[in-house]
Amino acid sequence: MKKFRCPVCGFMGLAKKPYDSNLSGSGEICQCCGFQFGYDDQSSQARKRIQEFHDSYRIKWLFEGAKVFHPSSFPVEYIQKNSTRMTETQLIRQLNTIGFKHNVPNKKLMKTTMN
């Protein structure tokens, strides 16, 4: 089955295209970052606003420790042991695919957001 990439976290695991040509969201929730397309961003239809919304959601998600939203539907090898957080390697890989430069490894950030 064809998979689509999440524009927020870069996870290649969406079952549906996040937006159609009218920028209306699929309603799907990303199993990695928890963003719901067309719900979390329903107040904005303009492409630029959606982009900004993705950016701010991503920052918040990263700041909270990049926890995997639905770990049981996420590849287990990408999740840290005894945690729901994504491994740093996978996080960097995913963010690179969407052209986002995250200052990882940011041990300080990772530590301060530990449970």
Cβ neighbour number for residue 85 with a 10 Å cutoff: 21
- Binding status of residue 66 toward Zn ion by CB under 5 A: no
- Strand ranges (DSSP E) for the chain? 4-5, 12-14
Give the pairing type, strands 12-14 and 4-5: antiparallel
- Binding status of residue 9 toward Zn ion by CB under 5 A: yes
- Binding status of residue 30 toward Zn ion by CB under 5 A: yes
The nearer residue to Zn ion, 70 or 108, going by C-beta atoms, is 70
**Min separation Cβ 8 and Zn ion, Å:** 4
The nearer residue to Zn ion, 2 or 107, going by C-beta atoms, is 2
* 33-52 footprint of Zn ion as x/- string (CB under 5 A): x-------------------
In the list 6, 50, 62, 79, the residue contacting Zn ion (rule: CB under 5 A) is: 6
- Binding status of residue 14 toward Zn ion by CB under 5 A: no
Burial code (b: 16+ CB inside 10 Å, e: under 16) for 15-49 equals eeebbeeebebbebbbbbbbbbbbebbeeeeeeee
Kindly indicate which of the ranges 22-30, 78-86, 92-100, 101-109 contains the residues binding Zn ion, using the contact rule CB under 5 A. Answer: 22-30
> Can you tell me the distance from the alpha carbon of 79 to that of 90, in angstroms, rounded to the nearest whole number?
9
Tokens read off for 30: 């990303």
Chain residues in the site for Zn ion (CB under 5 A)? 6, 8-9, 11, 30, 32-33
